[in-house]
Each structure stands twice: as structure tokens, then as C-alpha cells.
Chain A
Amino acid sequence: MNAKVDVVINGEHRSVPPGVTLLELLAELALDPRAVVVEHNRQIVRRPALGDVRVAPGDAIELVHFVGGG
């Protein structure tokens, strides 16, 4: 039962371990949870809750931050 599950992160199809939390996912992507905002299936997940939310097949995850803009 090691099959990975397919999710979409920032528009890219990715395979992640089943049952991984959003916090673990950020760690796997080497992203600092303080430096990104996580949107999970269109819902913003605040930092303290990132460890509680598990990723399910087909989930859409957006990881955003501030860039230069006018």
C-alpha cells in the first residue's frame, strides 16, 4: 500500500505519499511554512492547522507568496 496519490500543486501534477499532511508536504518541497500561504481545495489553511490537514487524491493545492508588483 505504498502507492502514491496524485494531486495538483500550483497547477502541476505531482505524486505524494498517501496521508501526507500539508505541513509534511511543505517540508518535502523544502518550503518554509512561514514563507508561504497554503490554499487547499480553494480553502486557505492557516499555519497552525497545516499539520492537521491530510492530502487526498485529486486535491488541488496552491502555494503562494508575495512577489514584486505594482
Chain B
Amino acid sequence: MKTETPNRHDATMHDSPLTIGGRAFQSRLMVGTGKYPDNATMLRAIDASGAEIVTVAVRRVDLDRSKDSSVLHHLDPKRFFLLANTAGCYTATDAVRYARLGREAGFNDFVKLEVIGDQETLLPDVQGLLEAAKILVKEDFKVLAYTNEDLVTALRLEDAGCAAVMPLASPIGSGLGLLNPFSVRTIKRRLQVPVVVDAGVGTASDACVTMEQGVDGILMNTAIAAAQDPVAMARAMRLAVDAGRAAFLAGRMPRREVAFPSSPTEGMLD
């Protein structure tokens, strides 16, 4: 993989890898593979993002072969960690069914679990999510649970044995950015398992601010795929995630309600 940013190593030099379900990943940016204008752009964007974890969806094969829709023709599973999702599922039963199919189709026991509760907002059905998570954990899945920014739900998902909890920044595909930094920060502070923000990032500053909350990573799709130049945006996101992470590790200065001069107040002329 080509490294476009010479100081990438510097930025993350003192960082530990992101470990989820016993697997270590160097990149804290995970990307989706949906909604790209074409596969070539998608591949170049994924390269530019530096992502190792790449999400995919499980869908019916097109029996008429009118289009070549299998993403595996384009993504080398030896090079990327393919994370199957249960996107589009509205019940725990459906999500479990899709997760099992995904495990069969895929190369690992990881699943990004989504149980959607509302069509307009695509907000999660947390009851169905917990139900599905418990079933899948029993079946030895490594469950990465897409959830809202509610602490109690996040704690219950962790108790249920999820490998990671994925609170949203804002609704899927909205690009509204991190609407509730306090809640996401609280979730991160209280959970032991990795917290990866999933959905809602719109542009690089959103990714940076999100990482500054101390979360372990970000998963995004539309922000890159729907940018005017997805490859350039993927690179921007990679830099932003690195910058946000580096800033978090550096520890920001305290906020003050009043100014505090940067230059000496002594030695001024009469």
C-alpha cells in the first residue's frame, strides 16, 4: 500500500494498535464499500484511506447476471479485513440470519451488527440489537454493534459480550458530524471494549473532532463515497483521523472563558 503521508508514522508513533476481538489493526479508519461511482474509484479511495477493515453487505446474487455485483471480484480478502454487516435488517431474526450468511461468505467471525428501528432516521432498534448480539455472541461471533450514543445501551452491549461498540456520530449517510460529543466521550470512558464511531461523519473536521474525543476509531462510507472526489476525501479522512488521534494522545490545553496572553506582559514600552 502506498504511503502518501510521510509523517503518518510520526503521528501515530506512540500509539498502540487498535485491537478488536483479539485482532490488531494499525489503521483506526474503517471504510465502507457502498455508493461509489465505480469500483476503480472505490479501490483507489480505500487505498488512499489506508483502511484495513472494509465493510461489505450480504445480498442476493443477480440470477440474470445483468451486472457483476460481487465486491470480492475487486477486493482481495488477503489484503483487507472484510467485515460483513447486517445493514437493512429490521429485526433481530433477520440480522442473525444475515450474520450467519456473512460468516459463511466471508473469511472471519466478525460481524458489524445493525438492527434498524426506523426507516427515516435509520436509528438502531436497541432492543433487537441486544437480542441479536446475545445470540451471535453465543455462536462465537465477534460482534461490533452499531448503536446510538446512549451509554446504558452501550454498557449492555458490552455486558452481552460484544467485541466493540459503535455509537453513531449522527444518522447514517447524513454527514451531520458528531452531534453529541459528550455522550460519545462518556461511552468511551465507561467501556472496556473498543469504541468505534460509525456513521454520520461528513468531512475531515468531523473525523478529527470525533477522534479527539478519545474513541478508538471511526467507520465511514458516504463521507468518502459521496464526496466530489472520493479518493482525495479518503486521503483527507486518513489525515484527519491521524490528526485527531494524535491530538487526543497529546492532551489538549484547558478551555478558558477569558483570554490569556501568549506574549509576555512585561517588557512593554512606556
A46: chain B residues within 8 A (beta carbon) = 104
Whether B33 contacts A37 by the Cβ 8 Å rule is: no
Whether B101 contacts A63 by the Cβ 8 Å rule is: no
Size of interface on A: residues with Cβ below 8 Å to B: 23
A10: chain B residues within 8 A (beta carbon) = 60-61, 63
Q: B72 contacts the other chain (Cβ, under 8 Å)?
A: yes
- A64 touching B72 in the complex, CB below 8 Å, given contacts A69-B34, A69-B87: no
Q: A53 contacts the other chain (Cβ, under 8 Å)?
A: no
A30: chain B residues within 8 A (beta carbon) = 65
Whether B60 contacts A66 by the Cβ 8 Å rule is: no
Q: A20 contacts the other chain (Cβ, under 8 Å)?
A: no
- Residues of A with Cβ closer than 8 Å to B? 9-12, 29-31, 35-37, 39, 42, 44, 46, 62-70
Top 6 A-B pairs ranked by shortest CB distance? A69-B57, A70-B32, A70-B221, A68-B33, A66-B56, A37-B104
The contact sample of 7 A-B pairs, CB cut-off 8 A, is A30-B65, A37-B101, A62-B101, A63-B63, A64-B105, A66-B71, A69-B55
For the A-B complex with A36-B61, A68-B57, A68-B71 known, give 10 more contacts whose Cβ atoms are closer than 8 Å: A35-B72, A44-B101, A46-B104, A65-B58, A65-B105, A66-B56, A66-B102, A66-B105, A69-B33, A70-B55
